[in-house]
Amino acid sequence: MVEECRRLGVKTIAHARGREAVLYSARAGVDVIFHAFEMDDEGLEEIVRKGCVISPALTFLVNTVEFTRPGDPCYQWRPNMNRGDVEVASRMLVKAREAGVPFMVGTDSGFAVTPYGEWHARELEIMVEHLGFAPAEALRATTSGNSGLLREGDAVGRVAAGALADLTVVAENPLEDISSLMRPENITYVYLGGEEVDLAPMPEVQRYSWEQSFRQWGEVYTRQRVAELAC
């Protein structure tokens, strides 16, 4: 499949968590491996050899650990299990970073603990806090790193004449506080292809219960809801 994709000029991504899944994905030469939580040294060596990129997407696990509450159906088993997952994953992902593996930034959005439009920047915070990234390094992974996967190629992920001018302008310096990217009031302007995006709140949309991923949670944990619960 990977060979055929390459022949067609299409990138390949594998969602691989377990030791063997990571190893076989790397052997096959997949472009991006999502998670790689339980990779071992053999898998890491293969990743380095084949030049695979890793996208940890740890936000889902960390949010699960931090947001799940006693009333949620998965409270009895999921947070503790995922706490262990984060520890195991961090150990090897730190090693991968030190081995020079390029990282991309994804978030596993769409679950009740990772609703769309809410926690995307949290992955950067996690990379800084759990994986030893410098804020600038995490930002580079998000911009020029992620652009490597897109068909737009060099036109995105950099600020240069002739590029697409997809820009986010922030008030606070994310190099000093990477978490500032999660505060909506800190996002001053967003440009998409040089056009200013209207940042006024979107009208309420109807949500359905089946959007709540496996129904493991009783509600959707938006930034606002999590802030309310913390009070």
Q: Closest distance between Zn ion and the C-beta of residue 85, in Å?
A: 12
Provide the 10 A C-beta neighbour count for residue 206.
5
DSSP code per residue over 36-87: -TT--HHHHHHHHHHT-EEE---HHHHHHHHH--TTSTTTTTHHHHHHHHHH
The 8-class DSSP code of residue 194 comes to T
The 8-class DSSP code of residue 103 comes to B
Q: Closest distance between Zn ion and the C-beta of residue 160, in Å?
A: 32
Which helix (H) or strand (E) segment holds residue 169: the answer is strand 167-170
* Nearer of residues 16 and 23 to Zn ion, judged by Cβ: 16
* Nearer of residues 85 and 108 to Zn ion, judged by Cβ: 108
Closest by alpha carbon to 29, among 40, 17, 13? 13
Helix axes 78-98, 122-131, angle to 10 degrees: 70
* Residue 9: half-sphere exposure toward Cβ, Cα within 13 Å: 3
Q: Closest distance between Zn ion and the C-beta of residue 180, in Å?
A: 26
* Nearer of residues 108 and 166 to Zn ion, judged by Cβ: 108
* Nearer of residues 15 and 49 to Zn ion, judged by Cβ: 15
Residue whose structure tokens are 């978490």:
179
Q: What is the pattern of x (binds Zn ion, CB under 5 A) and - over residues 76-115?
A: --------------------------------x-------
* Nearer of residues 15 and 158 to Zn ion, judged by Cβ: 15
Q: Closest distance between Zn ion and the C-beta of residue 126, in Å?
A: 14
Q: How many chain residues are in contact with Zn ion, going by CB under 5 A?
A: 2
Which helix (H) or strand (E) segment holds residue 167: the answer is strand 167-170
Closest by alpha carbon to 144, among 156, 135, 162? 156
Q: Which of 6, 10, 15, 136 binds Zn ion (CB under 5 A)?
A: 15
Q: Closest distance between Zn ion and the C-beta of residue 34, in Å?
A: 5
* Nearer of residues 108 and 123 to Zn ion, judged by Cβ: 108
Q: Closest distance between Zn ion and the C-beta of residue 15, in Å?
A: 5
Q: Applying CB under 5 A, does 158 fall inside the site for Zn ion?
A: no
| Interface ranges with Zn ion (CB under 5 A) | 15, 108
